[in-house]
Chain A
Amino acid sequence: MGLLSKKDLKLITDPLADDNPITIQVLGICSALAITAELKASIVMSVAVLFVLGVGNVVISLMRNIIPSKIRIIVQLIVVATLVIIVDLVLKAFAYELSKTLSVFVGLIITNCIIMGRFEAFALANGPWKSFLDGIGNSLGYAVILIIVGFFRELLGSGTLLGIKVLGDPIEKTGVYAFGYENNGFMLLAPMALITVGIIIWVQRSRNTSLIEDN
């Protein structure tokens, strides 16, 4: 990677695991849980956040010296809201069904804490290129968790991945269903998203014991 120095690369790779926005920084949980019943919705949501956070971080970073600190929250919200409107209109134009499933959660990217959190913590203090990398890194970290949760919830809940029946047909009893396997509809309900994320946190902190909190 000639383009990226070691320090820049760290900005992208850190949020993927040891500084993950969801499991370590506790940011952006709302949307991570609400839309992960299907893998496709998780992926689209990740792409939307990638766009908003990448572009938003650059914009805020460029304006960081002219924003009065007293009204910075309103300015940040307006920037995010504009970007989110773009995402919403693009989704409505090219993926109408999907934008129906995501419903208000596209709008809620505005208040997604990852975005405000990274603006406050990073973009207001760093240059545009670094802020862009930080935005990409954090939204990839967010995407990793979303895709893991979406993968397990869709696979165990409805036996499909991206709408393809990977486990066989539950009605005609083919594939694993022939051996008496049943879909666990409970995985599609809200509470299991929380428990899935809890388990991901458990696994991650068991592997890296330095992340353990002392109560």
Chain B
Amino acid sequence: MEHLELFFKAIFIDNMVFATFLGMCSYLAVSKKVSTAVGLGAAVIFVMAITVPLNWLLDKYILQEGALSWLGEEYAVYDLSFLSFIMFIATIATMVQLVEIIVEKFSPALYNSLGIFLPLIAVNCAILGGSLFMQSREIQTLGLAFNYGVSSGIGWFLAILAIAAIREKIRYSNVPAPLRGLGITFIITGLMAIGFMSFGGMLTGGDEEVVKEETASIETSVKVNEPTLEEETIKVIDSVSVDELEIKEEE
């Protein structure tokens, strides 16, 4: 249940592009054709699925306050979290290079389709953003971190696919000349973001903890609600009948 909640939240509610504007640069630059957009989107999912869990392990066992306690008692006092930017970006850059080498060796076909996009990914803010959000939202287990990486990647993939499809069609429309290209893409993305905001009702939004509390209270209140409604109506009926009785008595 926790996994499912995180999955849908990362894809729709906290969508990388529409809610937090991450990876906008490549989103705008590589969305002119659907085929290239699919290539880049797939590469992003792939890299995020690897780097988010890896960075989670780094954060848990090296960077957090007291994370080094597995080395011995005297190391428990260190807090290396100020190093997290440099560690995360180094992990991402090396993983991207490694993935590039591996894919080139074992699957030349995939390499040719992703080829140009892989190096670009190292500087895609969605990837680093994924790791930083993973850290700031205090995701608890490795499984959840993997889930978060994959689902944020899928969210980004959906966004770039949608805008690429729209841009392919909009070429045939009569857009005001100064808005052509970049301008209209911005405005369309804004409108799409408004659309995606409506998913916010699926969960109550806001911080992770607040969501959990609120959903929990909603669940309990739903369970409790039915009997209380009946009780209330009974009470209302009671009070009405009592009122009527009183009125009758007065008469």
Chain A residues packing against B (C-beta within 8 Å): 23, 26-31, 33-34, 73-74, 77-78, 80-82, 84-85, 88-89, 103-104, 107-108, 110-113, 116, 189-195, 197-198, 201-206, 209, 212-215
A-B contact count (CB 8 A): 145
Q: Which one, A74, A85, A201, contacts B90 given CB within 8 A?
A: A74
**A27-B183 contact, Cβ under 8 Å, with A84-B85, A85-B86, A108-B128:** no
The contact size tier of chain B is 35 or more
Whether the Cβ atoms of A116 and B123 lie closer than 8 Å is yes
Other CB < 8 Å A-B pairs besides A113-B125, A190-B21, A209-B178, 7 of them?
A33-B21, A103-B136, A111-B89, A111-B129, A190-B197, A198-B179, A215-B181
**A198-B187 contact, Cβ under 8 Å, with A73-B119, A191-B197:** yes
**A110-B179 contact, Cβ under 8 Å, with A33-B21, A33-B24, A191-B197:** no
Bound together, the chains give a CA A73 to CA B97 distance in angstroms of: 10
Q: Which residues of B contact A104 (CB under 8 A)?
A: 129, 132-133, 136
**A26-B25 contact, Cβ under 8 Å, with A85-B86, A89-B82:** yes
Whether the Cβ atoms of B182 and A213 lie closer than 8 Å is yes
Whether the Cβ atoms of B94 and A195 lie closer than 8 Å is no
Q: Which residues of B contact A203 (CB under 8 A)?
A: 178
Q: How far is the CB of A209 from chain B (nearest CB, A)?
A: 7
Chain B residues packing against A (C-beta within 8 Å): 18-25, 28-29, 82-86, 88-90, 93-94, 97, 119, 122-125, 127-129, 132-133, 136, 171, 175-184, 186-187, 189-191, 193-194, 197
Q: Which one, A28, A81, A206, contacts B85 given CB within 8 A?
A: A81
Whether the Cβ atoms of A30 and B22 lie closer than 8 Å is yes
Whether the Cβ atoms of B193 and A194 lie closer than 8 Å is yes
Whether the Cβ atoms of A189 and B24 lie closer than 8 Å is no
Whether the Cβ atoms of A34 and B186 lie closer than 8 Å is no
Whether the Cβ atoms of B129 and A108 lie closer than 8 Å is yes
Whether the Cβ atoms of B179 and A26 lie closer than 8 Å is no
Bound together, the chains give a CA A26 to CA B29 distance in angstroms of: 8
Whether the Cβ atoms of A74 and B93 lie closer than 8 Å is yes
Q: Which one, B85, B133, B179, contacts A88 given CB within 8 A?
A: B85
**A215-B182 contact, Cβ under 8 Å, with A110-B128, A191-B194:** no
Q: How far is the CB of A82 from chain B (nearest CB, A)?
A: 7
